[in-house]
Amino acid sequence: MKENEVYMLVALRRSKDEENAKRKALCRRHVVSGNVEEAVEQLMDRCHESGLWRLYRTVNKRDLTKGLKQLQVELVLNGEDFKDNVAGKWKSLLMKPNCRAEKKWLVDLDSKDEELYEKVLKSLKAYTTVCEECETPNGRHLVVMPFDRREFDKTFEYDPVELKKDCLVFVRAFKR
């Protein structure tokens, strides 16, 4: 990673994943400038509340210089909003698309169907480079380089396949 680039890790405890659906959803964010695996362990240690947690990483690295400029603008325009939580606001700003340091997309395949996965993978390889793949609780995430998506969208219009431009890729789930 370049000196001014980071990933963001996000740990989510979603209400819909809980046996007791009235339990409050929670979110923890962590800025990663070094080893992602070490940062994952650190973030997991910060998730003390019981329940099922899902860890995600930003698909795209974030540019600290762009984030700092955004923070300065926000401080000038909305300084009162920052008085209680500058660190939280900083992390929120880094998550915004205009702070991306690169442009990769995520293909979210929301199915365990191996035949559909093979079809999606074959199609993607005809259009672009697949940079990363990982299994999710409901299917797979594939990180790809941008491409002309018109034909891809037509091919998978009715399948549980979604192409997202800047989002989170699944890392792992754990229970407390």
pLDDT at residue 22, rounded to an integer: 61
16-40 average pLDDT score: 81
Q: How many CA atoms does the CB half-sphere of 163 hold within 13 Å?
A: 23
What is the C-alpha to C-alpha distance for residues 74 and 138, in angstroms, rounded to an integer? 37
pLDDT in tens, 114-149: 999 999 999 999 999 999 999 999 999 999 999 999
Cα 74 from Cα 129, distance rounded (Å): 36
Give the integer Cα–Cα distance in Å for 96 and 41.
Answer: 24
pLDDT-derived band of residue 18, with 50, 70 and 90 as boundaries? low
* pLDDT confidence bin for 23, thresholds 50/70/90: low
CATH architecture of 105-166: 2-Layer Sandwich (3.30)
Compute the average pLDDT of residues 2-20.
Answer: 84
The percent of residues in the chain predicted with pLDDT above 90, rounded, is 65
Domain ranges of the chain: 62-99, 105-166
Average pLDDT over residues 55-82: 90
Residue with tokens 């909305």: 78
Question: Would you place residue 21 in the very low, low, confident or very high pLDDT band (cuts 50, 70, 90)?
Answer: low
Longest dimension (CA), the chain: 53
Residue 5: per-residue pLDDT = 95
